[in-house]
Amino acid sequence: MTQPRRASGIVNLLVRHDAYVSGAQVLAELRRVIASGQIPPGSPIPLDDVATFFGVSLIPVREALKMLLGEGLLEHQPRLGYTVTALSPAELDELYLVRGALEAAAMEAAVRNSTPADHSRAHAIHASMAQAVASQDVVAFQRASRAFHEALLAPCHMPRLLHMLDMAWNLTEPVQTMTRLTAEERLAMHEDHEDMLDAFTARDVDRLMAAARTHHDRLTTCIGRLPDASD
């Protein structure tokens, strides 16, 4: 179908597939774009432009923004409206602490429950990360890194835990951490992923947990050297 005329900012990244758009679809699409990391922290969310793009009134847009505010993806200030959350260094550290704890909780069950299909999926994503490293495509590496972790954890069969982890991960995505590291740091992260993959496919729980701890420690150390995420 013909797409509505686009405005600037977040609206340029929105996708509308159907002539009729529900409030749930507005919410899901806004969440997808914000969590993709393509909208810098602090960016405004223009209610009128979003409503025009989707062909809806302001009511479902406001409801969607309130939900995203509750999830921590947005901030709201009187007269300034809604903006993508800008994390302080302390907040980013806290979220990575939460992410590490949730991943560790799911890791053991995931590796024990994993199947050959899970191993094949993890291998394929790891191969895409290798291509991103070779081509120095930092955005692709950011995207593949998350997909890799999700592939390792999916077999845990703990939907509530994975939902909490997804929410915590979404909060850090606008920072685009992997794109802010040096090439050497990204290469080290990729090598950590390879160690994790080997342990995962071997169903070696202890080795996987140790490799995951090393990876998380390296990541938090790198994050501690980053400029303020809100810059």
Return the C-alpha torsion angle 150, 160, 89, 152, nearest 10: -20
Cα separation of 38 and 217, whole Å?
26
- The pTM for the full model equals 0.81
Q: What are the structural domains of the chain?
A: 9-84 (1.10.10.10), 89-224 (1.20.120.530)
Which pLDDT tens digits describe the chain residue by residue (231 residues)?
334 434 447 899 999 988 788 999 999 999 999 988 888 888 999 999 999 999 999 999 999 999 999 999 999 988 889 999 988 888 888 999 999 999 999 998 999 999 999 999 999 999 999 999 999 999 899 999 999 999 999 999 999 999 999 999 989 888 888 888 889 999 999 999 999 999 999 999 999 999 999 999 998 888 887 665 444
Closest to 9 in 3D by CA, of 56, 58, 35, 42: 42
Cα separation of 48 and 46, whole Å?
6
H-state helical runs in the chain: 23-35, 47-54, 58-70, 89-113, 116-135, 138-153, 159-172, 183-201, 205-224
